[in-house]
Amino acid sequence: MKKKAVFYHAGCPVCVNAEQSVLGALDRTRYDVEVVHLGTAKGRLAEAEKLGIQSVPALSLEGQVFHINFGASLADLK
C-alpha cells in the first residue's frame, strides 16, 4: 500500500513553485500524492489545522507536517 502525501497550498507563487519542484521530486511509486488548495477548499482548513499546519505551502508525509518556505499563514485563508 502506498504512503500518503498531501500538499496544502493557496495558489500563491511561493506555493506553485514548491508544488512543482518538491512534489515533482517525490517518489510516486511509494507515495499517493494529493494536492489541496486551501484558498478554495475551505472545508479542509480544519483538517490542516489539526495536522499542525500554520502556513502554506506545507507538505504532510503520513501525517507529519513540513512547512516549506512561506507563502501565506493559515489565518489569512479563513
Contact residues: a copy of itself, CB under 8 A: 3, 5, 17-18, 21-22, 25-31, 59, 61-62, 64, 66-69
Of the two residues 50 and 64, which places its CB atom closer to a copy of itself in the complex?
64
Residue 40 or 69 with smaller CB distance to a copy of itself: 69
To the nearest whole angstrom, how small is the minimum distance from the Cβ of residue 41 to a copy of itself?
23
> Which cell numbers hold the place of 54?
500554520
Determine how many CB atoms are found less than 10 A away from the CB of residue 59.
22
Please tell me the distance from the alpha carbon of residue 72 to that of residue 75, in angstroms, as a whole number.
8
For a copy of itself, the closer CB: 21 or 42:
21
CB 51 within 8 A of CB 60: yes
